[in-house]
Amino acid sequence: MAIETLRDVLSWTETFHSQLSKCLSDCALISNDERARMVLNYLSEHEQQLTKVIQGFELKGEEKVLNTWCYEYVQKYPITQSKHCDEPFASLNAQQIMDLIIDQHQQVVELYRYLASRAETTSTMEMLSALSSMEEHEIKRMVQSSNRFSDM
């Protein structure tokens, strides 16, 4: 996928969350660790919710903001599809799963932060800041929820 505009970034992020959700769900079916299965199922559902949130940003975003060029970042830091299922989550414990998920989401946050720092209009900066804040908040929610599984 060629990423040139903010709309493309949102589309990529939507695909990221959707594919991650499917991978987590598939791995939950074959994991032997009960706690890991619970975490995988929870995270899969959470990623589906994030997919819908990103779709909302795409649908409600201002056209001029969505058409903002952002290829400079992509030239410096190429965005590649992550290898979620190359290292199956099914073979990991709950903490290892969370570590990988947090790392993946941090990369998305860094992308949004960088783009916000380079935004030339207030509306573009506001949208990117909102996306960054939302992703950061969701990381915290996922961590708190996964900690509850550890308490079981």
Q: Is residue 1 part of a domain?
A: no
Is pLDDT above 90 for 82?
A: no
pLDDT over 60 at 84, yes or no: no
pLDDT at site 63 = 95
- Cα distance between residue 116 and residue 131, in whole Å: 10
Nearest to 9 by CA among 67, 48, 59, 56: 67
Q: What is the pLDDT of residues 97-126, one digit of tens each?
A: 999 999 989 989 999 999 999 899 999 999
Whether residue 20 lies inside any domain: the answer is yes
pTM over 0.85: yes
Is there a contact between 44 and 84 (Cβ–Cβ < 8 Å)? no
Q: Are 127 and 7 in contact (CB under 8 A)?
A: no
What is the separation of C-alpha 104 from the centre of its chain, rounded to a whole number of angstroms?
7
What domain count does the chain have? 1
Tokens of 144: 């708190």
Range of the domain at 11: 6-151
Q: Say what the pLDDT of residue 6 is.
A: 94
User: Does the pLDDT value for residue 20 go beyond 80?
Assistant: yes
| CATH number of the domain enclosing 133 | 1.20.1260
29 within a domain of the structure (yes/no): yes
Is-contact 13 55, C-beta < 8 A? no
- Residue 118 covered by a domain: yes
For residue 69, pLDDT beyond 80: yes
